[in-house]
Amino acid sequence: MEVTGKIKKIEETKTFGASGFRKREMILTTNDQYPQMLKIEFVQDKCDLLNNYQEGQDVKISINLTGREWINPQGEAVYFNAIQGWRIENLQAENSNEIPPMAPAESFETTTNLDENEPDDLPF
């Protein structure tokens, strides 16, 4: 899946536990009629993908939706969802590489240098 929009905020990378699990979150504002602010997380080596981006840039992000179940102390199932990014592309750079549209064709007047008295050898 992909989502496009403008980067609203990029957080610093956070490290968790003895295993050194890394996570970096960002907020993306979509370009929809009713813009949504989505929290997208990048984990482990994908955290570094955000190093070359800054707030205000238009981007396209490839994402996976993840979900998990947790059984709370009362024995009830609680569900969590997350949006994980795994690729990010700068849309501004993509647009700047496009071939600019051609200028509209100018109208050309055709002039004929035919003598009205010469016979016309066209078949119609």
Distance CA 47, CA 89 (A): 14
The residues that bridge with 85 in the sheet, in sequence order, are: 63
Q: For residue 64, give the CATH number of its domain.
A: 2.40.50.140
Q: How many domains does the chain have?
A: 1
Q: Assess if residue 105 is contained within a domain.
A: no
Range of the domain at 64: 2-92
Determine, yes or no, domain membership for 75: yes
Dist CA 118 CA 43 (whole Å): 83
Q: Residue 84 domain-assigned?
A: yes
What pLDDT tens digit does each residue of the chain (124 aa) get? 999 999 999 999 999 999 999 999 999 999 999 999 999 999 999 999 999 999 999 999 999 999 999 999 999 999 999 999 999 999 986 555 554 444 444 444 444 555 566 666 656 5
* Residue 117, φ and ψ in degrees, nearest 5: -85, -15
> Is residue 121 in a domain?
no
Asked whether residue 118 is domain-assigned, the answer is no
